[in-house]
Chain A
Amino acid sequence: MNPEPETTLLALRLHDGTDDEPGRILSAREGDPAARAWIVERWTPPVWRFCRRMLMNDEDAGDAAQETLVKVLRNLDRYDVNRSFSTWVFGIARNTCIDEHRRRKRRAWDEPGDVIDMAPSPLQDVARLQRAEILDHALGQLPPMYREILVLYHFEHRKYTEIAEILELPLGTVMNRIFRARKKLRVLYEEHGGDQP
């Protein structure tokens, strides 16, 4: 059962540490300019990166990131404090990217189409960087519906359940989509000259 809104707000008020996001969100909601600026500074890089990877263009990414952060600030009072703030922000970023995508009349968004703890040698590093470039290029070739899921998981380190919330899809659909996305990416990676990973 969700906690009472008043209780949650009280808990947010008690969180008033310098780096504490819930406390700053609450202050920003009450109009504190420093807290609002903190939200923009904290969230502009990940939002811009997400938009850049989805729209594949610096200018479009700048517009979409700006639109997203302005929407975030203007709708802070609509943010449900029982939800993750990052999930809410990425959800807005995603919808903004979809709008931008539609505005530019690109193809439909929903069209399908134990860690090794070993420092690599310099030569391995160069090879890995080249492979990373090929991967980045291959990622750009994926349809948006597959790209967004991989970007959120592998670059923005969102959990599967968070991705389901951001995309407003059942977890089963998300898992299905992410498996397909990885398979397609592997094929594209090899087509673009990446060797068998």
Chain B
Amino acid sequence: MSQHVPADLLHAFVEGELTDDQAVTVAVHLDGCPSCAARAASLEPLTPFFAAVSDPEPPPDLVPAILARAQRPDWLPGWEVIVGSALLATAALLAFAVDSPLALATDAVVVVNATGALMRGVAGAVGSFHTTMSLVAGLALAGAVLTLHLSGENTALDPRRTP
């Protein structure tokens, strides 16, 4: 449609009285013809009220919040935390169940790898290296206290222990 839309056709368009094909043809023309689009808008009775509706404003802290969130890695702890936790649990079982130098060496390797996986996973979730380090240090401390506590109990239960 190279010429402007006739008034009667435009009125029928606004009232939704055209066939689908006609409506599509007029719509494509309006998209490329500001003059006809303005005429069509003037025929729509609610147009002035749409223009008078005030635009809601977003909260001022939204932009900084989005930028901060976008800087964090996308992925959640997912598999690294799951695998890390499983490995640490296995290492803990091995440490108490097996009493051989080879098993303890294997155990140490497992613990190192599991801790690495956990750190990466937690860093991804938390998004801050410092927070992650604090968390890992806290976990390590808790682990050390628990280990000392359990080893004390084991010693107390050891039948070879002399009173």
Contact = CB atoms under 8 A, between A and B. Distances in A.
Interface string A7-49: 0000000000000000000000000000011001100110011
A136 interface: yes
Interface stretch (A89-97, A99-107, A141-149, A172-180): A172-180
B62 A171 contact: no
B158 interface: no
A186 B15 CA distance: 11
Interface in B8-63: 15-16, 20-21, 23-24, 27-28, 30-31, 35, 38-39, 41-42, 44-50, 52-59, 62-63
B20 A175 contact: yes
Given A135-B50, A154-B50, A197-B49, A175 B62 contact: no
B58 to A, nearest CB: 4
Interface in B46-85: 46-50, 52-59, 62-63, 65-67, 69-70, 74
Contacts of B42: 114-116
Interface residues of B, number: 38
Nearest to A139: B53
Contacts of B52: 128-129, 131-132
Nearest to B45: A197
Contacts of A44: 58, 62-63, 66
Contact of A73 (B20, B45, B57, B70): B70
A49 B66 contact: no
Contact of B16 (A52, A161, A179): A179
Contacts of A74: 70, 74
B98 to A, nearest CB: 45
Contacts of A115: 38, 41-42
Contacts of A162: 31
A128 B48 contact: yes
B66 A69 contact: yes
Given A40-B70, A69-B66, A160 B46 contact: no
Nearest to B58: A48
A65 interface: yes
A160 B35 CA distance: 15
A97 B69 CA distance: 19
Residue of A114, A172, A180, A182 contacting most chain B CB atoms (<10 Å)? A114
Contact of A172 (B24, B30, B35): B24
B33 to A, nearest CB: 11
B50 A62 contact: no
26 contacts: A44-B62, A44-B63, A45-B57, A49-B55, A66-B65, A70-B66, A73-B70, A114-B38, A115-B38, A115-B42, A116-B48, A128-B48, A132-B50, A135-B49, A159-B31, A160-B30, A160-B31, A162-B31, A171-B27, A172-B23, A172-B24, A176-B16, A176-B23, A179-B16, A196-B45, A197-B48
6 smallest beta-carbon distances between A and B, as pairs? A179-B16, A132-B52, A48-B58, A197-B45, A160-B27, A159-B31
Interface of A: 36-37, 40-41, 44-45, 48-49, 52-53, 58, 61-62, 65-66, 69-70, 73-74, 114-116, 128-129, 131-136, 154-155, 159-162, 171-172, 174-176, 179-180, 182-183, 185-186, 189, 194, 196-197
